[in-house]
Structure formats: structure tokens, C-alpha cells
């Protein structure tokens, strides 16, 4: 039995929310298991449903995204600026080191190296413009995180090859990632 409009709208909202960014209309239609020609009605219904919630739907000819609406935006911006005023902390430094030395990395690769979930740390670094998110050509379901030009500029380097001790650290990272999980002792996983 085909889902009704309420169910399709709820699913569209959930997919857009979980994406955390724009989804192509083609991909959204595939996720909803509907024809692309049926998508405008779903998105129109979603746009109406979101009125007064603090969120809105933005559409282009090719993409759609959930965003903060213009009435709520100033409060979010103020809280965001307060958050950005804080230090990035050890977790942020560790994630930056991984994307700098390892190169473009998926969140699961970063999580594996650190041994903990890094989603909030990555969001913080994205918001600060220190890392950027790009599509993963090997797997369309995940993103790659890489250092931004601003980060390299802040560090005073032109590219990653100028990083201190780069070859040694890259070799250590590769050796660590190639080891089977069961070979890692508890002590090693605590210090990663």
C-alpha cells in the first residue's frame, strides 16, 4: 500500500533533517520511493507544515534543505556566536590533526581513530570554517571531511605537505588503521 501524503511529508522531513544539509531532489524522491514529478506536492505540504515551527524548507531547482526560518535565525545566531567564542578543546584539536595528517576522512574513520563519536566536534569545526564537508566519490551515503583553506592559512602552511613530521605521523596512522581491532589493547584505545 502506497504511503499517504502525511506519511510522505513526515518521511521527507526526517530525511532532510537526518541529512543535515541539502539533498538533491532526485535523491529525496528515491528515498521516498516516489517519482520526482510527485515531489513538489510533498515539499509544498512540508513547507506548510513547518510554518511557525522555527524551521523552513528551502528549495532550488535541484535541491531541498531544512533550515532555520528568518524569525528564529537571530536567536540561533546569537547562541551560535556564544558557542563559537569557546575554545575548540582537545577533541577539536584531535579531529583537526586527523583530517590534516590523514587527509579527507569519513566520520566513521575519524571516530575509529579517536575511539569515540565525533559528530558534535565535527559540527563545531564545520561551523567555525576549519573543516569542510564534501561528497564521498566512493560511497554516496557518507561525506568526507577535509581541512579548509582558512585552516591552512591559520596554520601558516600552503598545503598539507608542509605539516611538521608529516611522513612519520601518516605512517603511524596507516599502521594503526590497518591493524585488526582485536589487536588494540584497552590502553591503546583509551589513548587514541
Look-up: residue for cell 541539502?
22
Asked, colleague to colleague, whether 5-68 and 87-191 share their fold, the answer is: yes
Give me the pLDDT at residue 81, please: 66
Task: Report residue 55: phi and psi, to 5°.
Answer: -120, 160
| DSSP bridge pairs for 146 | 132
Contact 93, 118 (CB under 8 A): no
Report pLDDT digits (tens) over 42-101: 999 999 999 999 998 989 889 898 888 888 888 877 776 666 566 788 999 999 999 999
Whole-angstrom distance, CA of residue 6 vs CA of residue 161? 52
| DSSP bridge pairs for 143 | 135
Task: Kindly tell me if the per-residue pLDDT of 186 is higher than 60.
Answer: no
Report pLDDT digits (tens) over 2-52: 689 999 999 999 999 888 778 899 999 999 999 999 999 999 999 999 999
**Fold classified for 5-68:** Arc Repressor Mutant, subunit A (1.10.10)
Whole-angstrom distance, CA of residue 94 vs CA of residue 190? 14
CATH of domain 87-191: 1.10.10.10
Domain residues of the chain, as ranges?
Answer: 5-68, 87-191
Amino acid at each position: 500500500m502506497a504511503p499517504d501524503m502525511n506519511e510522505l511529508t513526515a518521511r521527507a522531513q526526517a530525511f532532510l533533517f537526518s541529512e543535515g544539509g541539502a539533498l538533491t531532489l532526485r535523491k529525496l524522491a528515491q528515498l521516498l520511493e516516489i517519482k520526482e514529478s510527485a515531489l513538489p506536492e510533498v515539499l509544498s505540504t512540508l513547507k506548510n507544515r513547518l510554518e511557525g515551527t522555527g524551521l523552513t524548507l528551502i528549495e532550488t531547482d535541484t535541491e531541498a534543505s531544512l533550515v532555520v526560518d528568518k524569525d528564529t535565525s537571530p536567536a540561533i545566531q546569537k547562541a551560535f556566536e556564544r558557542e563559537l567564542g569557546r575554545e575548540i578543546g582537545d577533541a577539536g584539536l584531535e579531529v583537526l590533526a586527523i583530517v590534516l595528517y590523514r587527509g579527507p576522512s569519513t566520520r566513521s574513520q575519524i571516530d575509529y581513530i579517536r575511539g569515540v563519536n565525533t559528530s558534535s566536534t565535527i559540527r563545531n569545526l564545520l561551523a567555525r570554517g576549519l573543516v569542510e564537508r564534501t561528497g564521498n566519490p566512493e560511497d554516496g551515503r557518507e561525506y568526507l571531511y577535509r581541512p579548509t583553506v582558512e585552516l591552512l592559512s591559520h596554520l601558516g602552511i600552503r598545503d598539507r605537505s608542509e605539516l611538521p613530521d608529516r611522513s612519520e605521523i601518516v605512517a603511524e596512522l596507516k599502521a594503526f588503521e590497518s591493524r585488526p581491532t582485536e589487536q588494540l589493547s584497552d590502553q591503546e584505545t583509551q589513548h587514541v
